[in-house]
A and B are shown apart, each in its own frame.
Chain A
Amino acid sequence: MSAPLAAPPAVSADPGPVEQLRILLSRIGAMCLVELQKLRRDQSELITRAIQPALWLLIFGETFTRIHAIPTGSIPYLDYLAPGILAQSALFISIFYGIQIIWERDAGVLAKLLVTPTPRAALVAGKAFAAGLRALVQALMVLVLSAILGVGLTTNPLRLLGMVVIVILGSAFFCCFSIVIAGIVLSRDRLMGIGQAITMPLFFGSNALYPVDLMPGWLKVLSHINPLSYQVDALRGLLIGTPANLGLDFGVLVGATALAIGVASALLGRLAR
């Protein structure tokens, strides 16, 4: 028989700002670790999820590179497309995280997590950055495939580090966006429907496949309020060296993620009731 458990906790004081930051980082670390543990045990999802971006690059990318239908200046279309497909694969992973939250609600996991001493914002941030980590592993597979297809990717470690940050931020935003929708619709079926309805417009309404200049005016407006466009712009600038507004891209993604974490946290309690 084991030794008894540790002494029970005394009633603790409320945490100050430094302690709250430590809790936030600790929870993000805990959630990311769980994500890595799951990925280590079952890599089949990574393979199956890699099929779609591979097909986009191989079929759409190769074909449109040959027919020169989309003007991308001196850059081959496949090179132009690769960062867009990288962002797309990260988007497709994170946009359905809300379904996981609804599953966790139904399985009692969410209630159990909410009864731990974890502020809701830290819980949402933990989930969001865990989604980012999973998307990053997926992004690495797209990068390897792009390199095999001859895309002229950067080898500058700082730029690659910048890509890591942008992929994680973008995925964190779309994960929280998905949790926000989950917090509003409260049901898996409705979320599936809405997720499918908005994913393609988000993708096609961004600069992932073609330059914004080619779009009609109304679509340009949509593209400018679509965080995916800022993610793609930053990835394209970092990975293949096209002109990019990195400061604005980073600022928009940080701001959008912070806002989404706040709104998703506010709606988390509604999911648990």
Chain B
Amino acid sequence: MSATETDREAGPEPAVRCTGLHHSFGTTKAVDGVDLEIVPGEIFGLLGPNGAGKTTTIRMITTLLPLEAGAITVFGVDVTRRRMAVRRLIGYVPQQLSADGALTGRENVSLFARLFDVPRSRRADEVHRALDLVGLTGEAERPVGGYSGGMIRRLELAQALVSSPRLLVLDEPTVGLDPVARSAVWDRITEIRARTGMTVLVTTHYMDEAEQYCDRVALMHSGRIRALGTPAELEAELGPDSTLDDVFRSMTGDALQSETGGMRNVRATRRTARRLG
């Protein structure tokens, strides 16, 4: 099933629509003609190895990078022309562990409630609800410097959720986490989606996670989308007993193992690993 067909079934206004996206860093084409539609309420996975163009695509959707060519709308709002309106619709969790270790969990979430103009009369309640949603109410008064990596990730989810966004954007949410923390983070994501109907756009290079938790996935390689559909559809197309990993290998020729990304990716991953201890 194509994205357009899925969208037609779900309604006229996709959560995200990307048309003809291009972005280059110097002579390197990071994103090279991406067309994409994300259906409201789904968990959509953007998969690929380091350097595939996932993060660049996410950064264009979240208004962090200007569009060189193409167009993006988020719930019908143009990303180039109405950046502030788009930002009010988005909750964003970057790849690095970005909570402030010198503040408590509650202070970290309260800051984002203020930055998203959650009214003062509702602020304390919204902060409490966001912390409760990620299971951190009991730890809210502790400085974040003493949190584990998984707890920091859940706190960042609370920071992104406190404004009740319509689109939750997660860039490699489980990178650097141990398997228990990874599944705890994904459990929270699926629970939040089930309870709020929020659309979730997530990038990952863990195929097993995408297979288990994403409604639909797009496989990216060298700046282009090579396959798009539900994990089951993509696997069925390749043959019986195939996994997403197999699908990816068939599309890219073992890129998942051989590509390690640029120096910047390596540095970012090392920094995250250091912060996790």
Contacts and interface: CB of A to CB of B under 8 A. Distances in A.
Interface of A: 1-9, 11-15, 23, 26-27, 29-30, 33-34, 37-38, 41-42, 106-109, 111-119, 269, 272-273
A116 B89 contact: no
B117 interface: yes
Interface stretch (B79-87, B206-214, B241-249): B79-87
A33 B123 CA distance: 15
B8 to A, nearest CB: 22
A15 to B, nearest CB: 7
A106 B96 contact: yes
Contacts of B271: 106-107
Contacts of B174: none
A12 B195 contact: no
Given A7-B164, A14-B82, A112 B132 contact: no
A112 B85 contact: no
Contacts of A38: 100, 102-103
B116 A115 contact: no
Interface stretch (B60-68, B181-189, B217-225): B60-68
A238 B216 CA distance: 66
A117 B128 CA distance: 22
Which 8 A-B pairs give the minimum distances between C-beta atoms? Answer: A108-B94, A108-B96, A2-B132, A108-B98, A30-B114, A116-B115, A115-B92, A8-B166
Contacts of A34: 100, 103, 107, 111
A112 B198 contact: no
A26 B64 contact: no
Nearest to A27: B115
B116 to A, nearest CB: 6
A111 B94 contact: yes
A115 B63 contact: yes
Contact of B116 (A5, A11, A117): A117
Contacts of A269: 66
B130 A112 contact: no
Interface string B253-271: 0000000000000001001
Contact of A107 (B63, B88, B97, B198): B97
Residue from A3, A34, A37, A107 with most neighbouring chain B CB atoms (10 Å): A107
A11 B198 contact: no
A41 B115 contact: no
A107 B84 contact: no
Given A2-B129, A34-B103, A42-B102, A113 B64 contact: no
A30 B100 CA distance: 14
Contacts of B75: 11
Contacts of B70: none
B116 A6 contact: no
Given A5-B130, A11-B77, A107-B97, A37 B64 contact: no
A110 B114 CA distance: 16
Interface residues on B, range: 35 or more
A52 to B, nearest CB: 22
28 contacts: A2-B133, A5-B133, A5-B161, A6-B118, A8-B165, A8-B166, A9-B163, A11-B77, A11-B88, A12-B84, A13-B85, A14-B84, A14-B85, A15-B84, A26-B117, A30-B115, A33-B114, A37-B102, A41-B102, A106-B96, A107-B271, A111-B64, A111-B98, A112-B94, A116-B112, A116-B115, A117-B88, A273-B59
B143 interface: yes
Given A5-B129, A11-B89, A108 B97 contact: yes
A108 B95 contact: yes
A119 B165 contact: no
Contacts of A6: 118, 122, 126, 129, 164
Given A5-B126, A106-B96, A112-B92, A41 B143 contact: yes
A117 B100 contact: no
B72 interface: no
Given A5-B164, A107-B98, A11 B196 contact: no
B57 interface: no
Given A9-B89, A109-B100, 8 more contacts: A2-B132, A5-B129, A5-B161, A6-B118, A8-B164, A12-B85, A14-B85, A41-B103
A118 B115 contact: yes
A273 B62 CA distance: 12
A3 B84 CA distance: 28
A273 B122 contact: no
A30 B59 CA distance: 25
A273 to B, nearest CB: 6
Interface in B137-194: 143, 159, 161, 163-166, 169
Contacts of B130: 5
A111 B118 CA distance: 20
A109 B103 contact: no
A185 to B, nearest CB: 17
Contacts of B129: 2-6
A269 to B, nearest CB: 8
